[in-house]
Homo-oligomer: A and B are copies of this chain.
Amino acid sequence: MKKYDKLQKNALGRIVPGEVNGQKVYPYMGIGKHRPSGRKYATPIVSSADFPADGNKLIPNLKEALIKSGLKDGMTISTHHHFRNGDLVADQIFDIAKEMGIKNLVWFPSASFECHSTLIKYLEDGTIHHIEGSMNGALGRFTTEGKMAGIGVLRSHGGRYQAIQDGEVHIDIAVIAAPTADPFGNATGDRGPAACGLLGFALGDSQYADKVIIVTDNLIPFPCIPWQIQGNYVDYVVQLEKIGIPEKIVSGTTEITKSPDRLLLAEWTAQFCDEAGIIKDGFSFQAGAGGTALSIGIYFAEILKARGMKSRWARGGSNKYLVKMLEDGLLEYILDGQTFDLEGVRSMRENEGHVNTSPFTSYNYHGKGNFASMVDVVILGATEVDVNFNANVVSHSDGYLLHGIGGWQNCLFAKCTILPVPLFRDRIPIIVDEVTTICGPGELIDVIVTERGIAINPRRKDLIELMKDSKLPIKTIEELKEEAERICGKPEKPKLTDEIVAIIKWVDGTVIDAVRKIEK
């Protein structure tokens, strides 16, 4: 089997394969252009007669649960990143697979972290064939250097749900690590020693995987309330001593930025939203983690407070600042996809207005709508933006794949998408002629805020009109690019071969771009 085949040009002019890891894939056709046909994946009908009547699905250990689940060569195994860099479960699964001599597994994580670089040895020895999911840090380097046996497939959080639902990825065994669970398999993430908030990234896996294993280090008597994951989808429950390292579960930047440049980005972004009339009573917003985004949230809160207004809802990634807005009455609901700190976890447990969501409700493009397109303004990051407003989040200008997509692609559907980015990092321009990897098409990206000026996408004539008398430094994207190049010089193109090592899926399952092997 060829790793990939049938190269073709997609609607953005990128050369992408029509076949990957032996499976047909479709080139990106434009936003909303690819209309799915067919039906969702249908799981086999099971019978309660084959499950313990007393609801006790406990199995002595993970190995036995994997054997009962029929673990064998070539299977697809899913795990989830609720514990982020503190995950202790993925390693154990593949240690067991290695011990059993299993080969060619597909690892389908909802995201990978630096802690998962331990799995490189299994990519090297053939236990794992390839990864479908984000390949961060060391795993990304490994992939970019062409060392993975198969082609990496990167999806957004919503795209991952879509792929599961539509049967593009068939999960043989889902292992869901749960901070609290009961013997029936009901599970929650908002309490327990490894509390991480919610388990939404595992929802699709629980619904569609052939076998579902819950592992927990906090087993309680039935019923586990809330049941973020429902035991009616679960085959086996395993008790482990420890499933995550609490101090590493809550990672990410949880403090506002102190950098004057970043503070300026935050201030201008907030001011832009205000002048454009986006901040008003009942508006909705989403800002990710990271110091700049957190600072923007604080500006929003100040504006709302000063005017006696409140936001109807915000999408999380939640953090202590968002929780404070909720508890101060400046925000009615947090619709949370992921808690970034312990205050977020506490609030989800305590506040009725802090609601856990899933990629199904928030992001699934192959649903009857989703939350992402209803958000008034979303503030996101990027590693590169090009003069057509196309943006990159997965690779750096040196060509290395170093990040996952997360919910980034899905969020682009907001009514206004703003990317506050520095004009350059380490003297490498962020605004370029052509991004190394297109993750999001420029037509969905409305505003680029840099410390030397703000560019509005020419398609957004409404925003340009609204801002025509602004004192903010509104420039064209070309002006920003030229300014970056004046300071840093014309950036060098990354040294890449033609060989494809990974593909980037769009929210509808089509291939928006491919990542090339680096030239050594």
Residues of chain A whose beta carbon lies under 8 Å from any beta carbon of chain B: 31-32, 34-55, 57, 165-166, 184-185, 212, 221-223, 225-227, 230-235, 282, 312-313, 333, 335, 352-353, 355, 360-361, 364-371, 373-374, 413, 415, 508
Contact = CB atoms under 8 A, between A and B. Distances in A.
Contact of A232 (B226, B360, B413): B360
A247 to B, nearest CB: 28
B32 A38 contact: no
Q: Closest 6 CB pairs between A and B? A: A32-B49, A39-B42, A42-B42, A51-B369, A36-B45, A55-B374
A282 B44 contact: no
A22 to B, nearest CB: 22
B366 A48 contact: yes
A369 B232 contact: yes
A475 to B, nearest CB: 29
Contacts of A165: 45
A85 B171 CA distance: 45
13 contacts: A38-B44, A46-B367, A49-B365, A53-B413, A54-B374, A55-B374, A57-B369, A212-B368, A221-B282, A222-B313, A225-B355, A231-B368, A232-B370
Contacts of A352: 225
A184 B374 contact: yes
Nearest to A31: B49
Contacts of A226: 355
Contact of A35 (B31, B47, B225, B234): B47
A35 B49 contact: yes
A368 B45 CA distance: 9
Given A369-B55, A413-B53, A232 B37 contact: no
Copies in the complex: 2
A68 to B, nearest CB: 13
Contacts of A233: 367-368
A55 to B, nearest CB: 4
Interface of A is mostly: loop
A42 B45 contact: no
A227 B371 CA distance: 13
Contacts of A361: 227, 230-232
Contact of A366 (B36, B45, B53, B367): B45
Given A232-B364, A233-B368, A355-B223, A36 B46 contact: yes
Contacts of A508: 47
Given A51-B368, A55-B373, 12 more contacts: A35-B50, A42-B42, A46-B366, A46-B367, A47-B508, A53-B373, A184-B374, A185-B368, A223-B333, A232-B367, A234-B368, A235-B368
A441 to B, nearest CB: 14
B36 A369 contact: no
Given A222-B313, A374-B54, A41 B38 contact: no
Contacts of A45: 36-40, 165-166, 366
Contact of A368 (B31, B232, B373): B232
A221 B361 CA distance: 17
A361 B374 CA distance: 31
A185 B368 CA distance: 10
Nearest to A352: B225
A48 B365 contact: yes
A43 B39 contact: yes
A168 to B, nearest CB: 10
A462 to B, nearest CB: 15
Contacts of A415: 54
Which among A47, A53, A166, A226 has the highest number of chain B CB atoms within 10 Å?
Answer: A47
Nearest to A206: B368
A173 to B, nearest CB: 14
A40 B47 CA distance: 12
Contacts of A47: 32, 34-36, 365-366, 508
A367 B48 contact: yes
A359 to B, nearest CB: 11
